[in-house]
Amino acid sequence: MSLLDCTVKNCTYNKTDCCCKGDILIGGNHADSTEETSCESFNERSVDSFQSSTEHPSKTINIDCEAMNCTYNSNFRCVADHVDICGSNAHAPSGTICATFTER
């Protein structure tokens, strides 16, 4: 599990920079930079709705990862101790990034 900081405030799963989804997927199969990654689990919040797959927001989370060129990808799992997801005003997963991505 990774310590997660998510600043994508308009994601339906974000509550106080924690994720309430339970686990997330980072996309970017052929990514060579952070800009080519995304949080594929992003779901834009409508109005002030909040959706949760778990009862409580969590700072630690399991992260599946498709970014094969990332140092932290081990068999499609993120093994970074700390992960930052960014994307202010995102409207789709492509508007988010994994700021922790480090090319191999």
Walk along the chain (104 residues) and give the pLDDT tens digit of each residue.
Answer: 899 999 999 999 998 888 888 899 999 999 999 999 999 999 998 765 555 555 567 889 999 999 999 999 999 999 999 999 999 889 999 999 999 999 99
Residues of the domain holding 52: 2-98
In a domain, 103, yes or no: no
Q: How many domains does the chain fold into?
A: 1
In angstroms, what is the C-alpha Rg of the chain? 13
In a domain, 104, yes or no: no
Its pTM stands at 0.89
In a domain, 77, yes or no: yes
* Structure-block tokens of residue 92: 């789709």
